[in-house]
Structure formats: C-alpha cells, structure tokens
Structure 1
Amino acid sequence: MNQSELGYGLRPRLGTSVSRPLLRLTSMRHGDVLVLTAAGAIDLSTTPALSESLADAIAQRPVALVVDLAPTTFLACAGLSVLLTAHQLTGDRTRFAVVAGSRASWRPIHLTGVDRFLTVHRHLADAVADAIPMVVRTVVADATILVTATGGARAGAAESLTEELRRASELCPGAVLVDVSACTLTAADVVGSVRAAFTRDRRGIRVLTADEDLRKALEAAGIACCVPAGTGR
C-alpha cells in the first residue's frame, strides 16, 4: 500500500507510540486483532499522527484492525474522514471496526451518520470478540467425537455451533466432547446450542470449559461439563 494514501509522513512501528501535544496513539495485539488506541483530542493538528499510525497498521495486514476511541476527548470531522479512508483502504483483507465508548467519540460519529459506514462498538471487548469469526472443527476418534469451537461471537456463530453439534450427534452414538474453552459465545448461546442439537439424549455429551459462569449454566441445564487439561484449574 502506498503510504501517501493516508497522506502523512513517517509511520511508527508496532508497539511504539506517536505523541502530539493533545494526542497519544498506542498499538497492541490481541491475537489476530490489532488495536490502535487514541487518547486525547483528534483535530486538525493531530490527525496526521492518527493517519501515520493507521497506515502502519494497515500495512501489516492484520486479520482485524480496531481503533479504540474510548479515551478520546475530542473528535473533529477531520478525524472522521481519516477513519473512513482507513476503512476503505483495509478492503476485504482486514476487518475494520471502531470503539466509541465515550460521549466525545460516539456523539460525532452518530450525528454525522458515520456509524452507517463503519462497524462501531461501545466496548473494546465486544469489538475484539466480533472481529474474529468463530471456527468449529470436528475430529472423530474411535467412538468419540471432539468438537472444538474457537474465535469470536459474530452474528450466526451460535447457529454454526448448533449445526456442527447436530452432525456430531448423528455421526457418533458414543461420547461427544465439546471444547468451548477458546470460544467467546455467551453461556446462554452455548447452552442453547447443546439443547438444540441434543434434543433427546445428552448423557454422552461433555462440554469442556474453565469458565465458571458457563459451568454453572450447564449444570443448571443438566449438561455435564469438565475443565480442559492444562488450564490449571
């Protein structure tokens, strides 16, 4: 990508920060998601720094790029323009999202209608979870099937897990292990998927998770669960 597409000079490296009198930009990896956090005011004097950091982030071709504006104290139209340009430059190869967790960031995004073009979240955890699609893999070994779900909780993820569990229940009359230890589906979604897939007999199913809330929800629903090996719990 041509650095001039975002319009400004030198670019910082991952893990470094770019400072201006009113703006501090830092980048951090969350797995396959690159998060760029902007703390301070984004106006005509600081948008060059934002552009530089976005250019660097896009050039790394991450699976997803999230711009966290929660610490932003002011967001001018110039900053919105930079975000829209970055969204266009990421194309199909990188999912792009913005976290507008403060009034200073959410209000201008909403009032100008920019949220119609960008994926906007209120919380960083939601943005990171939504950025990564859930992947479900099934392995058959003797009389046991292991279904492993990893990744985020994007729309339709629970339905995907349900369909894979239904196939597993039809393939194997024996034990079915469902590992959701690396999945960010809610406890209600996991319980709902198991119930929908195993409508008659759930005696052979075990859900692997170290999440205490999920374990309680599973036990309340009469679904057996256990802690995956190597979690230390």
Structure 2
Amino acid sequence: MTTTFDVAVSDIAPAEAPALLAGIPQAKRRLLSSRVRSADMADGPEEELRSPTMQLAVTQAGPAVVVSVAGEIDMLTAPALADALNTAFDDTQPGAPVVLDLSRVSFLDSHGLTVLVQAASAPTASTAGRLRVVVGDARAAIRPLQITGLDKLLPLHRTVDDALADAW
C-alpha cells in the first residue's frame, strides 16, 4: 500500500500555512501551486514565489514503514513530514524501523532538520532508535546533516535496502 501526499501552499500568507496544514486531515492533503502573498504588499501586486511541491510516499516494507520524500523540506512542508513520521511510528509494531528516504530531496532547511531531531530523539521508548535515514547521493540532504552534526546522531544509509538490512 502506498499513500502519496503533495504539499505546497496556495494563495496564503506564510504565517497562515501551519494552521492551514493542521486543519486538513493527513490523508486528504493535496495542495498544489504555490503563490504566497507578501505582507509588505497588502494593497499591491502579489509576489509569486514558486516552491516545488514536496511529495511524500508512505510504503509498508514488511514490519517496517518507508517514508519517501521528494522536493523541498522547508517551513511550509515540514509539518506534513512530521505528521507522516509520527503516523509511521504510531502505525508500526514496537521495535520495527521507520526508514526516511531523503534521496530525492532538493532542499532541506532548519525546519526539516528540526523534524529529524524530534523524530530521532523522541522521549518515548517506542520510537527510540527506530529511525533510519536514507540520503543516497542527495547533496541537498547530506550537506545540512553534516554541517549540523546530525550525521553523527542519525544512522545514514545509501539505499532503502541498506537501511532495512541494518535494522534487523
């Protein structure tokens, strides 16, 4: 079973994005076309900011769950990633790994890094040590993890198969 979510923001101010995403059930999130109004241009023309859509695919791989991400992980899309990871941890059996595939990520900012830190250091025993991160050759994912030292905290893998093999 694969579930795909496309996330971007359409005609809203940046501050309204988290509330908008929170109000939509995870299974129904499919917002496309990004146009964000600038707060400084309230009466003027809208500033169009193109942000590629972040795609999330959640796949069951035996007892493990694989969350695959493509596109940009930023302040507007990080909440959807956090929801997907939380659901993955909740929906798998205790001890089963959750693999996060970032090999098709084109941008990873501090909001995305925060989601990773929270998932890796969750205070419950049911999530501890279960997150595996796949980076492949995606420099956009590897570099921020190296710069922040998160590559030392999170087990990084080249492929999903490597991450699944390491989990057992």
- Letter of the 2:81 counterpart: L
Q: Distance in 2 between matches of 1:78 and 1:70?
A: 18
Which aligned pairs between 1:102-181 and structure 2 lie closer than 5 A? 102-132=138-168
Which aligned pairs between 1:163-202 and structure 2 lie closer than 5 A? none
Write out per-residue CA displacement over residues 5-39 of structure 1, whole angstroms, 9 at most, x where no aligned residue. Answer: xxxxxxxxx73222113201011111121100011
Return the TM-score normalized by structure 2: 0.66
Q: RCO (CA 8 Å, sep 6+): is it higher in 1 or 2?
A: 2
- Letter of the 2:73 counterpart: I
Q: Distance in 2 between matches of 1:122 and 1:76?
A: 21
Matched, 1:77 2:110: yes
Q: Secondary structure at the match of 1:71?
A: strand
Contact preservation (8 Å) 2:65, 2:92: no
> Number of residue pairs matched?
119
- Letter of the 1:65 counterpart: V
**2:119 aligns with one of 79, 86, 89:** 86
Q: Distance in 1 between matches of 2:123 and 2:113?
A: 16
Q: Secondary structure at the match of 1:44?
A: coil
Structure 2 residue aligned with 1:197: none
Contact preservation (8 Å) 1:58, 1:90: no
Matched, 1:17 2:4: yes
Contact preservation (8 Å) 1:44, 1:78: yes
- Letter of the 1:97 counterpart: R
Q: Distance in 2 between matches of 1:109 and 1:122?
A: 14
Q: Secondary structure at the match of 1:93?
A: coil
Bigger CA radius of gyration: 1
Contact preservation (8 Å) 2:65, 2:99: yes
Any gaps of 5 or more consecutive residues in structure 1?
1-13, 133-233
**1:28 aligns with one of 30, 52, 59:** 59
Q: CA shift at 1:73, angstroms?
A: 0.6
Distance 1:125 1:116, change over 3 A: same
Q: CA shift at 1:43, angstroms?
A: 0.5
Q: Secondary structure at the match of 2:121?
A: helix
Distance 1:44 1:117, change over 3 A: same
Structure 1 residue aligned with 2:79: 48
Write out per-residue CA displacement over residues 132-160 of structure 1, whole angstroms, 9 at most, x where no aligned residue. Answer: 2xxxxxxxxxxxxxxxxxxxxxxxxxxxx
Q: Distance in 2 between matches of 1:82 and 1:30?
A: 22
Q: Distance in 2 between matches of 1:71 and 1:89?
A: 25
Contact preservation (8 Å) 1:41, 1:74: yes
Q: CA shift at 1:78, angstroms?
A: 0.9
Distance 1:29 1:90, change over 3 A: farther
Structure 1 residue aligned with 2:99: 66
Return the TM-score normalized by structure 1: 0.48
Structure 1 residue aligned with 2:69: 38
Q: Secondary structure at the match of 2:76?
A: coil
Contact preservation (8 Å) 2:63, 2:92: no
Contact preservation (8 Å) 1:33, 1:131: no
Contact preservation (8 Å) 1:64, 1:96: yes
- Letter of the 1:109 counterpart: L
Any gaps of 5 or more consecutive residues in structure 2?
9-52
